[in-house]
Amino acid sequence: MTDVNIKVIPEGSVCSPIGFKANGIHCGIRSSISKKDLALIVSEKMCSAAAVYTQNKVFGAPITVTRNNIADGYAQAVICNSGNANTCAPGGVKLAEDTCELTAKALGLKAEDIIVASTGVIGQAMSMEPFEKGMPELVAGLNENGSADAAEAIMTTDTIPKYRAVEVEIGGKKVTIGGISKGSGMINPNMATMLSFITTDAAITPQMLQKALSADIKKSFNQICVDGDTSTNDTVAIMANGMAGNDEIKENGEDFEAFAKGLAEVTQYLAKKMAKDGEGATKLIECNVVGAPDEATANKIAKTVISSNLLKCAIFGADANWGRVLCAIGYCEGDFSADNIDVEMKSSKGSVTVCKGSTHHEYSEDEASVILSEDEIIINIDMNQGSGTGTAWGCDLTYDYVQINGDYRS
Amino acid sequence: MTDVNIKVIPEGSVCSPIGFKANGIHCGIRSSISKKDLALIVSEKMCSAAAVYTQNKVFGAPITVTRNNIADGYAQAVICNSGNANTCAPGGVKLAEDTCELTAKALGLKAEDIIVASTGVIGQAMSMEPFEKGMPELVAGLNENGSADAAEAIMTTDTIPKYRAVEVEIGGKKVTIGGISKGSGMINPNMATMLSFITTDAAITPQMLQKALSADIKKSFNQICVDGDTSTNDTVAIMANGMAGNDEIKENGEDFEAFAKGLAEVTQYLAKKMAKDGEGATKLIECNVVGAPDEATANKIAKTVISSNLLKCAIFGADANWGRVLCAIGYCEGDFSADNIDVEMKSSKGSVTVCKGSTHHEYSEDEASVILSEDEIIINIDMNQGSGTGTAWGCDLTYDYVQINGDYRS
Predicted pLDDT of residue A2: 54
A330: contact with B, CB 8 A cutoff: yes
A58 interfacial to chain B (CB closer than 8 Å)? yes
- Asked if A409 and B321 come within 8 Å (Cβ–Cβ), the reply is yes
Mean pLDDT for the stretch of residues B46-71: 90
**CA–CA dist B302, B389 (Å, integer):** 9
Of B88, B321, B404, the CB nearest to A326: B88
> Which among B227, B331, B358 is the nearest to A56, CB-wise?
B331
CA distance A193 to B309: 15
**Dihedral of CA A302/A303/A305/A306: which sign?**
positive
Indicate the SS3 state at residue A298: helix
Partner-chain contact B406 A121, CB within 8 Å? no
Residues with Cβ within 8 Å of residue B251, at least 6 apart in sequence: B208
The answer on pLDDT for B41 being more than 90 is: yes
Q: According to the model, what pLDDT value does residue A236 have?
A: 82
- Residues B171-191 pLDDT 10s: 899 999 999 988 764 443 333
Q: Does B163 touch chain A (CB under 8 A)?
A: no
A199 flagged as catalytic: no
Size of interface A-B (CB pairs under 8 A): 206
φ/ψ (deg, to 5) at B184: -105, 30
B361 Cβ contact list (under 8 Å, min separation 6): B342, B353, B354, B355
Q: Which of A179, A194, A197 shows the shortest CA–CA distance to A262?
A: A179
SS (H, E, C) A207-254: HHHHHHHHHHHCCCHHHECCCCCCCCCCEEEEEECCCCCCCCECCCCH
Residue type, B148: A
Contacts of B189 in chain A (CB under 8 A): 309-310
A52 touching chain B per CB within 8 A = no
Any CB–CB contact under 8 A between A321 and chain B?
yes
Q: Which residue of B has its CA nearest to A404?
A: B313
Percent of chain B clearing pLDDT 90 (strictly above): 68
pLDDT digits (tens, 9 = 90+) for B300-334: 999 999 988 889 999 999 999 898 899 899 888 89
pTM, whole model, 2 decimals?
Answer: 0.81
CA-to-CA separations, A191 to A57, A95, A170, in angstroms, rounded? 14, 20, 39
Q: Which residue of A has its CA nearest to B407?
A: A317
Chain A hits for B329, CB-CB cut-off 8 Å, are: 57-58
Taking CA–CA distances from B122, the nearest residue in chain A reads A323
- Bridge partners (DSSP) of residue A40 are A23, A79
Q: How far is CA B119 from the centre of its chain?
A: 14
Which of the residues A176, A193, A232, A235 is marked catalytic?
A193
Residue B225 is predicted with a pLDDT of 79
Catalytic residue among B103, B157, B193, B232: B193
Which residue type occupies B164?
A: R
CB contact (8 A) between residue B323 and residue A359: no
Q: Which residues of A fall within a CB distance of 8 Å from B307? A: 228
Residues 6+ apart with CB under 8 A from B71: none
Q: What is the pLDDT of residue A23?
A: 98
What pLDDT is recorded for position B196? 82
Lowest mean pLDDT among A25-34, B230-239, B292-301: B230-239
Calculate the CA dihedral of residues A85, A88, A94, A95 and round it to 10 degrees.
-30
Tell me chain A's radius of gyration from C-alpha atoms: 21
Say whether pLDDT at B232 is over 80. no
Non-local CB neighbours of B214 within 8 Å, separated by 6+ positions:
B50, B52
Q: How far is A230 from chain B (nearest CA, A)?
A: 6
Q: Cα-flanking dihedrals φ and ψ of residue A309, to 5°? A: -55, -40
Contact A316 B402 (CB under 8 A): yes
Quick check: helix, strand or coil at residue A344?
Answer: strand
Residue B187 has a pLDDT of: 47
- What integer pLDDT is reported at residue A225 of this predicted model? 79
User: What's the rounded Cα separation, in Å, for the pair A399 and A121?
Assistant: 22
Write the Ramachandran bin of B173: left for phi over 0, alpha for psi from -120 to 50, otherwise beta. beta
Is A306 within 8 Å of chain B by CB?
Answer: no
Please report which confidence band the pLDDT of residue B342 belongs to, taking 50, 70 and 90 as the band edges.
very high
Q: Output the CA–CA distances (angstroms, integers) from residue B162 to A72, B180, B182, in the order listed.
A: 61, 6, 7
Is A328 in the B-facing interface, judged by CB distances under 8 Å? yes
Provide the CA A338 distance to its chain's centre, in angstroms: 31
Looking at the complex, does the CB of residue A280 fall below 8 Å from at least one CB of chain B? no
Q: Which helix (H) or strand (E) holds A178?
A: strand A173-182
Amino acid identity for residue B191 in this structure: M
Which residues face B375 on adjacent strands? none
Question: Count of alpha carbons within 13 Å of A273, Cβ hemisphere only?
Answer: 21
With an 8 Å Cβ cutoff, are A410 and B313 in contact? no
**Confidence at B69, pLDDT banded by 50, 70, 90:** very high
The residues of chain A scoring below 50 in pLDDT are 1, 185-192, 410
At B408, the pLDDT band (50, 70, 90 cuts) reads low
List residues bridging with A52 in a β-sheet.
Answer: A236
Question: What is the C-alpha separation between B342 and B359, in angstroms, rounded?
Answer: 8
Measured between CB atoms, which of B57, B307, B316 is closest to A338? B57
Distance CA A261, CA B319 (A): 44
Give me the residues of A, 188-207, that contact B with CB < 8 A.
Answer: 189, 191
